[in-house]
């Protein structure tokens, strides 16, 4: 147990890597063995991650289960990982959705099964690493490493225009990453010049900033802020940097879409919350109105464009732009309601949009099309799928007692009380997103599931298989749990979020 507590985070990062290595040694012809092995390692990682939840101390605002070792001492680069109330649930989300994705890929993936699951597990390691890293260099490494498996997942197992989508995804992200690297290096040197210590350590930087030992000229702060912002905004994606998303989502295999929407997008909002907001408080204040404006444009724009998409996956992709707009809004309203709502909404989006992609994937596996016009009346041959689809649709449009409501409600309550000019107007505009959400989701649901079966091919589609139930039911139970008793999740965020909003007193004294 002691060992567990000390090395649990490393264990979380390594388990999928070990899983990938084991898969590499297996015979590539034995698809079923490969699937089972991948599933086993995914499940093991998930179980390990539950240990975090069990042992996480809610009252503590700092990083827990931290490990801090020298890695490249010559440059002050350290292997520093830790988890706090902001990253805790995101790690769980990543391990959970990985298991779900593996299960969902059982039938759909038939070529190069071995490589597929290796990439999935490597991707998992990368995602966990991003959320745990407390050394900016380490963070950057994970951030970049994660791109590679996703690139191949889209490029090899994707649909039609997969190469175009994969390249677009990688170029978009790489442009952002390059800017972020410059900003990280700048901070590294600025910190060294101010304090004489060469380090990429995030808590140390934060301390130096809070105690004013590291003072960054506002003008430079703005540039650094924008460099980080560019990288994260592309990932989120914030309007108008979103156009890689519909392509990547549409062409990616189901597991890719689930992890992309469920976890990868959250890295953008996580980065904004963790790094932009905390490292550059003045610049954050400067850019807040601008970012909130973009977030609101994203909410409405994403919803309206989602509404008219003829392709199911594209519709869900644009709906992500809308939902993530809510998250960004919540982060930049800077009160407990907004920020906790934003974190909650990150989890919600992982579950509801993950669920939507899974269902679209299941329909695709049966009909090999995603055109909404090709469907209609699917509830008749597939009543169980229709029920699951309905519940996830309702979760996505924020029906109370399901998860989505809690996040949206907190974000909007927070927005209404934000201490920025025209907060009420902004929030009212954002709140229209709740109406749009109902419009595009229910309209889509109607065209796909309701009515008479009009296409001959749809008449005898099989309903959910046993495995598919195992994929969807946990998501639905989670959506219910998060909607009925959100306290379980929210309470573990409190200390960290409140510290983020009211940084330690040193800052006020030294100013």
Q: Which residues bind other proteins (CB under 8 A)?
A: 168, 171-172, 181-182, 185-186, 189-190, 193, 217, 219-220, 223-224, 240, 242-244, 301, 304-305, 307-309, 335-337, 340-341, 377, 379-380, 383, 394, 399-401, 405-406, 409-410, 412-417, 424, 427-428, 431-432, 434-435, 438-439, 442-443, 446, 449-452, 484-487, 490-491
Q: Which two tokens stand for residue 84?
A: 């706090």
Q: Which is nearer to other proteins, 280 or 409 (CB)?
A: 409
Minimum CB separation of residue 356 from other proteins in Å reads 18
User: What gap in Å lies between CA 301 and CA 86, rounded to an integer?
Assistant: 28
Please, what sign has the CA dihedral across residues 68, 236, 234, 155? Answer: positive
Q: How far is the CB of 8 from other proteins (least distance, A)?
A: 28
Smallest gap from residue 352 Cβ to other proteins (A)? 16
User: Minimal distance in Å, beta carbon 430 to other proteins?
Assistant: 11
Q: Which is nearer to other proteins, 65 or 405 (CB)?
A: 405
Q: What's the closest the beta carbon of residue 186 comes to other proteins, in angstroms?
A: 5
Measure CA 193 to chain center: 35
* Residue 140 vs 409, nearer CB to other proteins: 409
Query: If DSSP states are collapsed to H, E and C, what string results for 299-362?
Result: HHHHHHHHHCCCEHHHHHHHHHHHHHHHHHHHHCCCCHHHHHHHHHHHHHHHHHHHHHHHHHHH
Nearer to other proteins, 115 or 468 (CB): 468
* Cβ proximity of 133 and 69 under 8 Å: no
Give the burial string for 68-80 (b: 16+ CB within 10 Å, else e).
eeebeeeebbbbb
- State the Cα–Cα distance between residues 307 and 361, nearest whole angstrom: 20
Cβ nearer to other proteins, comparing 12 with 379: 379
Which residue's CB is nearer to other proteins, number 26 or number 442? 442
Nearer to other proteins by Cβ, of 355 and 486: the residue is 486
- Round to whole Å and give the CA distance between 104 and 97: 10
Helices 312-331 and 336-367 cross at an angle (nearest 10°) of: 170
d(CA 132, CA 9): 8
State which residue, 431 or 461, has the beta carbon closest to other proteins: 431
Q: Smallest distance, Å, CB 241 to other proteins?
A: 9
C-alpha 15/C-alpha 1 separation (Å) is 17
In contact, 15 and 127? CB cutoff 8 Å: no
CB 11, min distance to other proteins, A: 32
Nearest to other proteins of 118, 236 (CB atom): 236
In sequence order, what are the beta bridge partners of 483? none
What span, in angstroms and rounded, lies between the C-alpha atoms of 370 and 450?
16
Cβ atoms of residues 19 and 41 within 8 Å: yes
Compare residues 80 and 314 and give the one whose CB is closer to other proteins. Answer: 314
* Minimal distance, residue 476 CB to other proteins, in Å: 12
Side-chain half-sphere of 225: how many Cα atoms within 13 Å? Answer: 23
Contact 96, 50 (CB under 8 A): no
| Max CA distance (Å), the chain | 73
What tokens were used for 265?
Answer: 């997008």
Residue 171: CB minimum distance to other proteins, A: 8
3-state SS assignment for residue 254: helix
Nearer to other proteins, 110 or 463 (CB): 463
Nearest approach, Cβ of residue 212 and other proteins (Å): 18
The nearest distance, CB 30 to other proteins, in angstroms, is 38
């Amino acid at each position: 147990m002691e060992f567990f507590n000390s090395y649990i985070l490393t264990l979380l990062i390594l388990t999928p890597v070990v899983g990938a290595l084991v898969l590499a040694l297996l015979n590539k012809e034995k698809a079923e063995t490969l699937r089972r092995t991948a599933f086993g390692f995914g499940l093991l990682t998930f179980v390990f991650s539950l240990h975090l939840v069990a042992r996480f101390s809610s009252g503590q605002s700092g990083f827990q289960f931290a490990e801090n070792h020298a890695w490249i001492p010559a440059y002050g680069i350290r292997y520093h990982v830790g988890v706090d109330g902001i990253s805790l649930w995101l790690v769980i989300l990543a391990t959970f959705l990985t298991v779900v994705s593996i299960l969902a890929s059982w039938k759909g993936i038939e070529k190069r099964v071995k490589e597929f699951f290796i990439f999935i597990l490597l991707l998992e390691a990368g995602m966990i690493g991003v959320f745990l890293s407390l050394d900016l260099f380490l963070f950057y490494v994970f951030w970049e490493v994660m791109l590679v498996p996703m690139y191949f997942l889209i490029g090899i197992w994707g649909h039609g225009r997969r190469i175009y989508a994969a390249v677009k995804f990688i170029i978009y992200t790489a442009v952002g990453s390059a800017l972020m690297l410059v900003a990280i290096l700048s901070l590294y040197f600025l910190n060294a010049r101010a304090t004489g210590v060469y380090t990429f350590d995030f808590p140390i930087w934060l301390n130096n900033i809070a105690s004013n030992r590291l003072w960054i000229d506002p003008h430079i702060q703005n540039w650094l802020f924008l460099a980080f912002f560019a990288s994260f905004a592309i990932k989120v994606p914030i309007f108008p940097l979103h156009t890689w998303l519909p392509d990547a989502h549409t062409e990616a295999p189901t597991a890719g879409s689930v992890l992309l929407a469920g976890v990868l997008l959250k890295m953008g909002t996580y980065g904004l919350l963790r790094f932009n907001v905390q490292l550059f408080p003045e610049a954050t204040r400067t850019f807040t109105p601008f970012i909130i404006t973009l977030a609101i444009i994203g909410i409405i724009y994403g919803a309206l464009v989602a509404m008219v998409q003829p392709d199911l996956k594209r519709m869900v992709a644009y709906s992500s732009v809308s939902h993530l707009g809510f998250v960004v809004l919540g982060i930049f309203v800077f009160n407990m309601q907004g920020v906790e709502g934003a974190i909650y909404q990150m989890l919600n989006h992982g579950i509801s949009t993950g669920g939507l992609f899974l269902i679209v994937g299941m329909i695709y596996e049966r009909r090999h099309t995603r055109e909404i016009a090709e469907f209609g009346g699917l509830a008749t041959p597939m009543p169980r799928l229709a029920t699951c689809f309905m519940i996830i649709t309702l979760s996505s449009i924020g029906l109370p007692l399901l998860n989505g409501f809690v996040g949206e409600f907190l974000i909007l309550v927070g927005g209404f009380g934000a201490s920025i000019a025209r907060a009420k107007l902004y929030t009212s505009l954002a709140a229209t997103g709740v109406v749009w959400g109902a419009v595009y989701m229910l309209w889509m649901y109607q065209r796909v599931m309701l009515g008479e079966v009009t296409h001959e091919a749809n008449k005898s589609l099989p309903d959910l298989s046993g495995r598919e139930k195992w994929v969807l039911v946990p998501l639905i139970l989670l959506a219910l749990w998060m909607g009925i008793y959100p306290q379980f999740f929210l309470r573990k965020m409190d200390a960290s979020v409140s510290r983020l909003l009211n940084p330690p007193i040193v800052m006020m004294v030294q100013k």
